[in-house]
Chain A
Amino acid sequence: MSDQPSILPLAIEGLSYEIGGCRLVGVDRALITKGRRTVVLGPNGAGKTLFLKLCHGLIAPSQGTVAFAGGIKPAARRQAMVLQRPVLLRRSVAGNLRHALAVAGFGYLERRRRTVRMLDQFGLADLSDRPARVLSGGEQQRLAIARAVSVEPELLFLDEPASGLDPSATRQIEEILLGLHADGLTWVMTTHDLAQARRLADDILFFHAGRLIEAAPADRFFAEPDTDAARAFLESRLFW
């Protein structure tokens, strides 16, 4: 991995995504920086999911560009995504990992080696032979992250990785994310949970009604937001 030139920073310019003439996402400029924990924040329906899919390349922008450093179009395995509702295959836990590694082009021995490592690292070793889809929500989410990380991407997108999980499973996921960051993975995650954003973010991209209206380091964003919409979002949280 390290011998390849980095795909970061990721630069987004003049981005717009429209369906039927209706503009769902608009981003004038944004930068995803290597080593920074970027949190895409905003209420439900703000356009966070669409923005992440545009960055990942699952959907194509109507206008504008999403450009990796040096103009590379990276192979799928260099930037992975954990979808808001990850689809686990109808296989065992280990089978899901092996499949992802096979798709990414790893050979048989390497697949086995990495599968074992991922199972250990994500606390899934005891579950390795279970059908993946009968796992609990927290376990499924851990597997989804393990699967995305198994191919050693440089950049990982996570769409609401802890939504719908109980507090302890949420904390587990957050610890995993912090650990991955410490190991050198750059990630971008979305959340509508203010407290979670405070716990995890270096940089905030704040979305409102489909537009990126604030991009700032987390401490500045939380201390003195520039926009009324962001202030309202921060305050409504305080009053509850």
Chain B
Amino acid sequence: MVDSTMMLSSLWDLLPVRDPAFFDIILLSLKVTLTAVGAAGLIGLPVGAALALGRFPGRPILIVIINAFMGLPPVVAGLAVFLLLSRSGPLGQFGLLFSPAAMMVAQFGLVLPIIIALSRQTIEDLWLEYREQLTSMGAGRLRAIPTLLWDARFSLVTSLLAGLGRAFAEVGAILIVGGNVAGFTRTMTTAIALETSKGDLPLALGLGAVLMALTLVINALAFAVSRLGARFAG
């Protein structure tokens, strides 16, 4: 007990806690990524369900395209959002470029295909299993959507966590559209990417440790959720 407390406190000493920028950077990262993934989940889950149950021409092509977008390189996403938000771009008049909002948009675009694609697959598999039963009970495709979303809840939370992991670790997109402006758009990953070479090693190391811890927490959550889900899957 004493040992671990001592270890924790010496770890704490290693972190650049006296650097006020340290916490601002972490807070901004959390704000940007949680907002982006939250919005992507709000939109991506119903869209994924609709894509799983919908019947319309072009559906297979749409599915392939969205699956492909799961692997979209962050720098390409960043470039696209940059062009969209730059002064001469279609959304240029809002002056969002190099702001936290721009970073949220970029991460939203990066995570949305992941959430749509994963939830579509999950819900389509579950529909295959439930279809006959739900039809017999009088639930059509539309009525089936809330049932399937709820019964797939554990897998869906796992997809959200996958999106969260990707967004936290990502640097290319937010660097391009955010610009790593100190105190405004500097996040954990952009700070590490750019401050290391400038010699601010303690800050970079501290942020790296926080990122690792976050990744660990996300994976632990994913593990716990899937264990819980297995119980209900019988």
Binding site for B on A (CB under 8 A): 56, 58, 75-77, 80-81, 83, 86-91, 99-100, 103-104, 131-134
Question: Which residues in A have their C-beta under 8 angstroms from that of B151?
Answer: 89-91
The residue on B at minimum CB distance from A135 is: B234
Q: Across the interface, do A104 and B233 meet the contact criterion of CB distance under 8 Å?
A: no
Task: Kindly state whether residue B87 has any CB partner on chain A within 8 Å.
Answer: no
| Tally of chain B residues near chain A (CB < 8 A) | 19
Q: Which of B20-61 contact A (CB under 8 A)?
A: none
Question: Are B232 and A87 in contact, with the CB atoms below 8 A?
Answer: no
Majority secondary structure, A binding face: mixed
Once the chains bind, are B231 and A56 in contact (CB under 8 Å)? no
| 7 other A-B residue contacts (CB within 8 Å) besides A58-B136, A75-B138 | A83-B132, A87-B130, A89-B130, A91-B150, A91-B151, A91-B232, A104-B137
CB atoms of A103 and B232 under 8 A apart: no
Question: Counting CB contacts under 8 A, is B147 at the interface?
Answer: yes
Q: How distant is the Cα of A25 from the Cα of B226 in the complex, in angstroms?
A: 43
Can you spell out 10 A-B residue pairs with CB atoms less than 8 angstroms apart? Answer: A77-B138, A80-B136, A86-B133, A87-B133, A90-B151, A90-B234, A91-B151, A131-B232, A133-B233, A133-B234
> Does residue B196 face the partner (Cβ distance < 8 Å to A)?
no
User: CB-CB < 8 A to A90: which residues of B?
Assistant: 151, 229, 232-234
Q: Assess whether A83 is in contact with B139, with CB atoms less than 8 Å apart.
A: no
Judge whether B129 is part of the interface by a CB distance below 8 angstroms: yes
B227 at the interface (CB under 8 A from A): no
Q: How far is the CB of B150 from chain A (nearest CB, A)?
A: 8
Task: Give the residues in chain A near B134, CB-CB below 8 Å.
Answer: 103
Q: Are B143 and A87 in contact (CB under 8 A)?
A: no
Q: Is the CB of A87 within 8 A of B231?
A: no
Q: Residue B135 at the A interface, CB < 8 A?
A: yes
Residue contact B232 to A133, C-beta cutoff 8 Å: yes
Chain B positions within 8 Å of A80 at CB level = 136-137
Contact A89 B147 (CB under 8 A): yes
The answer to whether B143 touches A103, judged by C-beta atoms less than 8 angstroms apart, is yes
Bound together, the chains give a CA A76 to CA B136 distance in angstroms of 7
What's the least CB distance linking A16 to chain B, in Å? 21
Check A56 against B136 for contact (C-beta < 8 Å): yes
Query: Once the chains bind, are A103 and B139 in contact (CB under 8 Å)?
Result: yes
How far in angstroms is the closest Cβ of chain B from A38?
19
Alpha-carbon distance A64/B141, docked complex (angstroms): 27
